[in-house]
């Protein structure tokens, strides 16, 4: 591979160091963090001129390195777009006299929110995302919720990529927005039953969701009523409707502890009522039915969670009674409630199932599938008094299928199968699973997708995707985009490493805080297992991860870089120590339970310092690296990948090149619009193909 590093921008070193717990840390690239970063989130034009010039120089260098792949990128975009049904629509979801759904128009970038009469008839469009996006370089819908009387729809959008959402209310039939404008929210809305007010969460200037407010239609935001304010800056707060639709649930928590409150939507001015007081390490989530709560919780040492019941009138911990006891290794990750049935989503050994319980008889039955790796999700309903359960199924070979399932008769009706307009035959592909043995003996599942004519002779390139943080599991679901790599001979692999809940909550606990390096070692073990099984060979692997998965990429590049031909790190969380030391950043206090608090704890400081990718860049050869950032990203701030790339270039002794591409008009999720996003996917895939010497394969 051509070494282009001598042409790369050189970030000036501006010496800076700090001492904490008696340990001095040098950070010569700290200047790349704009001192006015909060203001830049709101208005990117305020970015410091030196920093902007450097980012633009990096973008120019990225173009010089990857510009020759432009024809390949164009081909990839055309392929991926060809797999998208351009006028796609969701299955209508009934609610009273109407059925609501979302769809796209041919060539449209953004969703349309629509409805028809419940039993069929002419559709009407409540929100036209394409029209609303006009005049904005960036546009992303937040939440949308129609009112209970079906006259109005509250909707929110972010037009900068900073994830500050503005809420408006539209008259469905008239097609115009009311004068009400509520700014700086997380985008969610819960209507009162009389449809004259709604609840929302306001974000503070540090982008933290600390306050719940009630807005009355026809008034100014300045007149809104503060309903609840969280005092712990480490907690997230959000609102949602309860399962029956009777309550607004104020749900708060961090990564270890939670607490919920209820507001009766028939009495929206009543104060919130606490369900159960927070206890460190105890999590719970409620569903309501009549005078009873059904609570999913890890209380009493239920590491993989259980379901308890409690009287609505006295829901405190002392009154919790086990309904679905804890079963080690069977992780209950979600529950939903209907008038006559309790539905829970479980996962064992990285395979999901839906279990339905008749609340009258107590009888249970499960919905599961036979493929070696698959994804399964209950989709919820606007209606509580129904026997219909809607769920979605897919695998790495099988496009998404949406089913309606009668929980009484057990009849299953296919309502939608994802269409691939350019054609897709699942029989042409194989999805399978292997187990990789980590250094400490842990068995790490790896889900695989390859063409049926693949030969396991060690010559194939392989993309290995991973995340491994916050308890997020990586589903073995269908992605049409991946086929552009697989059809060119790639094996696509997902590493279900520790730090996720793929094998239960304990699997998560074994990959956080002082055990975080298990995530990195698991990923390398997966790479070695794939090499040993002749799926690929060393330096034929491209690692891929984003956000906390980007931290994984940075750590793996430092620790096991010799296994990889390339690394794609999207919005990578790589400056872990400095971020966890800055308690003004949006996500820092909420992240301390995940990574540790290096401000207070010397042990946590040393632990994070030992693996933080930015702080462990070494004088050695690195694989080719593509880092992708968003200027207005409030989650992983732009300066993290920028500083990382600068230090890599200044320190590494060979390999590369290291490329940084910053989207100057987007945040954490990258470009807005379903087709614009494909441009960024194509860049990542073109880089992967280039890293393994296949960039000339446009066909």
DSSP code for 438: P
Query: 10 Å Cβ neighbour count for 584?
Result: 11
The crossing angle, in degrees rounded to 10, of helices 49-66 and 639-651 is 60
Give the other-Cβ count within 10 Å of 25's Cβ: 16
Of 197, 215, 633, 672, the active-site residue reads 633
Provide the pairing of β-strand 621-622 with 321-324. Answer: unpaired
Residues 6+ apart with CB under 8 A from 348: 329, 330, 331, 504
Three-class DSSP category at 93: strand
Neighbouring C-beta atoms of residue 314, cutoff 10 Å: 8
User: What does DSSP say about strands 225-229 and 236-241: parallel, antiparallel, or unpaired?
Assistant: unpaired
In a 13 Å sphere around the CA of 286, the CA atoms on its Cβ side amount to: 35
Report which secondary-structure segment, H or E, holds 642. Answer: helix 639-651
Nearest residue to 1 via CA among 554, 379, 522, 540: 540
Query: Which residue's structure tokens are 């009706």?
Result: 413
Place of tokens 């890890």: 298
668 is catalytic: yes
Catalytic residue among 158, 469, 668, 672: 668
Angle at which helices 49-66 and 676-691 cross, to 10°: 60
Helices 602-611 and 517-532 cross at an angle (nearest 10°) of 30
Helical spans, DSSP H, in 183-314: none
The values of phi and psi at residue 137, to 5°, are: -70, -30
Please give the DSSP secondary-structure letter assigned to residue 653.
-
Handedness of CA 418, 424, 425, 430 (dihedral sign): negative
DSSP classification of residue 279: -
**Whole-number Å distance between alpha carbons of 642 and 424:** 39
- When computed from its CA atoms, the radius of gyration of the chain, rounded to whole angstroms, is 25
The pair of three-digit structure tokens given for residue 699, joined into one six-digit string: 């066909």
Q: Is there a catalytic annotation at residue 633?
A: yes
| Degrees, nearest 5: CA angle 96-97-99 | 85
Contact predicate 172/152, CB 8 Å = yes
In 571-640, where do the E strands start and end? 621-622, 624-630
Please enumerate in sequence order all residues whose Cβ is within 8 A of that of 161, keeping only pairs 6 or more positions apart, or say none: 138, 140, 630, 631, 632, 633, 663, 665, 666, 667, 668, 669, 672
Grouping H, G, I as helix, E, B as strand and the rest as coil, residue 230 is: coil
% helix, strand, coil for the chain, step of 5: 25, 35, 40
How many CA atoms does the CB half-sphere of 202 hold within 13 Å?
19
Q: Would you give the end-to-end CA distance of the chain in angstroms?
A: 21
Neighbours of 425 (CB within 10 A): 9
Q: Which helix (H) or strand (E) holds 215?
A: strand 209-216
Helix (H) or strand (E) holding 81: helix 70-82
487: which 2 tokens? 């059809």
d(CA 324, CA 346): 12
What does 363-380 look like in DSSP terms, one character per residue? -EEEE---SSSEEEEE--
> Which is the catalytic residue, given 144, 242, 375, 547?
547
Catalytic residue list = 547, 633, 668
């Amino acid at each position: 591979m051509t070494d282009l590093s001598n042409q790369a921008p050189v970030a000036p070193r501006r010496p800076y160091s700090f001492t904490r717990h008696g340990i001095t840390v040098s950070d010569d690239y700290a200047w790349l963090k704009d001192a006015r970063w909060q203001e830049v989130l709101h208005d990117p034009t305020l970015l410091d001129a030196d920093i902007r010039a450097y980012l633009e120089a990096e973008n120019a260098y990225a173009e010089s390195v990857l510009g020759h792949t432009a024809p390949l990128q164009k081909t990839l975009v055309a392929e991926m777009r060809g797999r998208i049904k351009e006028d796609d629509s969701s299955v209508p979801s009934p609610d009273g006299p109407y059925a609501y759904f979302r769809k796209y128009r041919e060539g449209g970038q953004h969703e349309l929110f629509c409805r028809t009469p419940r039993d069929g008839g002419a559709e009407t469009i409540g929100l036209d995302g394409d029209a609303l996006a006009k005049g904005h370089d960036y546009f992303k819908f937040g939440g949308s919720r129609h009112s209970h009387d079906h006259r109005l729809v509250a909707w929110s959008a972010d037009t900068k990529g900073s994830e500050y959402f503005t809420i408006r209310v539209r008259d469905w039939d008239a097609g115009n927005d009311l004068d009400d404008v509520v700014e700086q929210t997380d985008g969610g809305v819960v209507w009162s039953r009389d449809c004259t007010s709604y609840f929302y969460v306001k974000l503070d200037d540090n982008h933290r969701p600390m306050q719940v407010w009630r807005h009355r239609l026809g008034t100014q935001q300045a007149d809104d009523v503060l309903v609840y304010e969280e005092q712990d800056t480490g907690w997230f707060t959000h609102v949602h409707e309860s399962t029956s639709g009777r309550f607004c649930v104020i749900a708060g928590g961090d990564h270890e502890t939670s607490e919920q409150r209820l507001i009766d939507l028939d009495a929206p001015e009543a104060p919130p009522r606490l369900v159960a007081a927070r206890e460190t390490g105890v999590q719970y989530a409620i569903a309501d039915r009549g005078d009873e709560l059904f609570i999913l919780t890890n209380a009493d040492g239920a590491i993989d969670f259980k379901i308890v019941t409690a009287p609505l009138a006295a829901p405190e911990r002392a009154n919790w009674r086990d309904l679905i006891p804890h079963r080690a290794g069977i992780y209950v990750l979600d529950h939903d409630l209907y008038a006559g049935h309790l539905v829970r989503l479980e996962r064992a050994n990285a395979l999901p199932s839906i279990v339905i319980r008749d609340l009258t008889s107590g009888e249970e039955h499960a919905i599961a599938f036979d493929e070696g790796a698959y994804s399964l999700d209950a989709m919820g309903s606007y209606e509580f008094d129904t026997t219909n359960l809607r769920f979605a199924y897919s695998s790495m070979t099988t496009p998404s299928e949406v089913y309606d399932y009668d929980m009484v008769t057990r009849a299953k009706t296919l309502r939608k199968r994802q269409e691939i307009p350019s054609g897709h035959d699942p029989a042409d592909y194989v999805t399978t699973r292997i187990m990789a043995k980590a250094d400490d003996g842990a068995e790490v599942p790896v889900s695989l997708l390859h063409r049926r004519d693949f030969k396991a002779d060690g010559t194939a390139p392989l993309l290995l995707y991973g995340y491994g943080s916050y308890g997020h599991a990586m589903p073995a679901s269908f992605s049409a985009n991946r086929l552009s790599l697989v059809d060119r001979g790639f094996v696509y692999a997902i590493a279900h490493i520790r730090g996720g809940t793929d094998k239960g909550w304990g699997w998560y606990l074994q990959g956080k805080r002082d055990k975080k390096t298990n995530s990195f070692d698991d990923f390398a073990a997966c790479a070695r297992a794939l090499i040993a099984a002749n799926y690929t060979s060393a330096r034929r692997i491209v690692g891929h991860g984003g956000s906390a998965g980007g931290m994984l990429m940075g750590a793996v590049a430092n620790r096991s870089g010799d296994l990889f031909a390339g690394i794609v790190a999207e919005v990578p969380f790589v400056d872990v120590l400095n971020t966890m030391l800055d308690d003004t950043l949006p996500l820092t206090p909420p992240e301390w339970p995940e990574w540790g608090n290096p401000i207070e704890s010397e042990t946590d400081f040393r632990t994070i310092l030992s693996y933080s990718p930015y702080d462990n860049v070494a004088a050695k050869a690195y694989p080719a690296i593509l880092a992708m950032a968003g200027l207005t990203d409030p989650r992983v701030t732009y300066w993290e990948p920028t500083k990382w790339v600068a230090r890599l270039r200044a320190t590494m002794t060979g390999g590369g090149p290291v490329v940084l591409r910053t989207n100057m008009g987007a945040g954490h999720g990258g470009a807005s619009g379903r087709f614009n996003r494909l441009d960024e996917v194509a860049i990542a895939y073109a880089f992967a193909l280039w890293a393994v010497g296949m960039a000339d394969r446009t066909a």
